[in-house]
A and B are shown apart, each in its own frame.
Chain A
Amino acid sequence: MEHAVRDIHVSTISDAVKKLCMDANWRLEPDMLRAFDRALGRERSDAGKQVLTILKQNAEMARTRQLPYCQDTGMVIAFVEVGQDVHVTGGALYDAINEGVGQGYTEGYLRASIVRSPFDRVNTGDNTPAVIHVDVVPGSTLKISVMAKGGGCENRSKYVMLTPAAGLPAVKDFVIECVKTAGPDACPPLILGVGIGGTFEKAAINSKKALFRELGSPNPDPMLDALEQELLERANRLGIGPQGYGGDTTSFGIHILTYPCHITSLPVAVTIECHAHRHKEVVL
């Protein structure tokens, strides 16, 4: 069947990204707000309950005053699914995304947290560039998912190449070890994105992609869903609790994404995400 090529102008993309950046930082998604309520229902620690209550207030204040939920408004990670029948007009896709990020962060009074080089550490002033991952998919739409990824939690993300012989028990222990080493530095309650399989970089990208699944929703694979529940239960037995002050809510959720891998490999990447889990998406 013949498909007509659909034109999407870069200004449409920039405008959409600008809005996503502002919204993500001002308005936590409903899945996060529900997670606070679920946790408040079972948290035993007074300090933990108090932290969770303040974080709920913080989300409400951020939304009503258009203030960022966290002053670390993150590095923008954009996953873009470009329909193969889409033709981007008027400029380059990557430039359009960065244009939207720059506008969103400047006009939204969001913090500029990106330095142009890891060595000279000079701030780019408008939070650009974003980290952009593009997939080409069937169809004639363009889907943009953005995450404003905080630095404190990102700094606690980890990767390991396990052996096939070490297998599932080693994967489990590694994930739990990541929660322990993240501790209070990464602003618990944490969300973990776990990429298992693929290669070094595929596992890492999947660990980010996994975070976009709705929090509290089941993994479509029953085996992985059971594994996620087991790991979440173990993480919440560590006692770290909200902000590390002690308690039952160390993690809100653990999301796993797998990929086929080489007979010799068992790569595992864990992205640590804080409770300021700011993600939004749009389909153009």
Chain B
Amino acid sequence: MSVSTGSDGIKDVRTPLSDADVRSLKAGDRVRISGAIFTARDAAHARLAPLVDKGEALPVDVKGQIIYYTGPSPARPGGVIGSVGPTTASRMDKFTPALLALGLKGTIGKGYRSQAVKEALREHTAVYFGSIGGAGAVLSEFVKKADVVAYADLGTEAIRRLEVDGFPAIVLYDAHGGDLYQDGQKAYARENA
């Protein structure tokens, strides 16, 4: 079991994740993610898509893994990574269901996802986490190691393997249809907006 609840109520999540781990996560849960996660955004997804379509091996095995939608800023000399906050997830919606079908268990990003992604999260038992957009400097503190593992020519858009320790996130969409955005916003929406 790679999910446990800390004394502060925050759930510690360690990669890779099993279906049971994913099912234990609910929209609104605050989490700390530790272990290896992989970065990929627009350009990397565009290269992965034809491989998925043809059933060929991907440069990283996504089974049980988490993809973080981010393009970090360059590390300073001697540093691990630059700022590393999330990018808008919906641009990857087109590619996500196929990756979930291959066993991807989580994505980290910001913003709404399509209905197709929501349904795929339920069908394949996976979760969508949010990290705070625009908090890239703070988030860089939780990245202990970063290595480019594929598509180095894409620069910031290359696929990187990040070793993270206690990376803070929140469950935006869970595998049961839960949606933090809907629940959270309903509570504060007022008449006559």
Please give the residue numbers on chain A whose beta carbons come within 8 Å of chain B beta carbons, in ascending order.
44-45, 47-48, 51, 54-55, 57-58, 61-62, 65-73, 109-113, 121, 123, 125, 150, 152, 155, 176, 183-187, 234-235, 237-241, 243-248, 274-276
- Expressed in whole angstroms, the minimum distance between the Cβ of A41 and any Cβ of chain B is 16
With an 8 A cutoff between CB atoms, is B116 at the interface?
Answer: no
Q: Which of B111, B136, B157, B170 contacts A69 (CB 8 A)?
A: B136
Instruction: Apart from A68-B137, A121-B43, A237-B191, list 20 A-B contacts with CB within 8 A.
Output: A44-B188, A45-B188, A67-B136, A67-B140, A69-B83, A70-B136, A109-B73, A109-B76, A111-B82, A176-B193, A183-B112, A184-B112, A185-B88, A238-B185, A239-B185, A241-B184, A244-B184, A246-B184, A246-B186, A246-B188
Interfacial chain A residues near B87, Cβ < 8 Å: 72, 152
Please give the residue numbers on chain B whose beta carbons come within 8 Å of chain A beta carbons, in ascending order.
43, 70-76, 82-85, 87-88, 90, 110-112, 130, 132-138, 140-141, 154-157, 170, 180-181, 183-193
Asked if A245 contacts B181 (CB within 8 A), the reply is yes
- Expressed in whole angstroms, the minimum distance between the Cβ of A40 and any Cβ of chain B is 15
Asked if A55 contacts B135 (CB within 8 A), the reply is yes
Q: Which of B134, B137, B170, B184 contacts A61 (CB 8 A)?
A: B137
Interfacial chain A residues near B71, Cβ < 8 Å: 71-72, 111, 113
Q: Which of B70, B72, B137 contacts A65 (CB 8 A)?
A: B137
- What's the Cα separation between A121 and B190 when bound, in Å? 42
Counting residue pairs across A and B whose Cβ atoms lie within 8 Å, the total is: 166
Q: Which of A111, A184, A276 contacts B72 (CB 8 A)?
A: A111
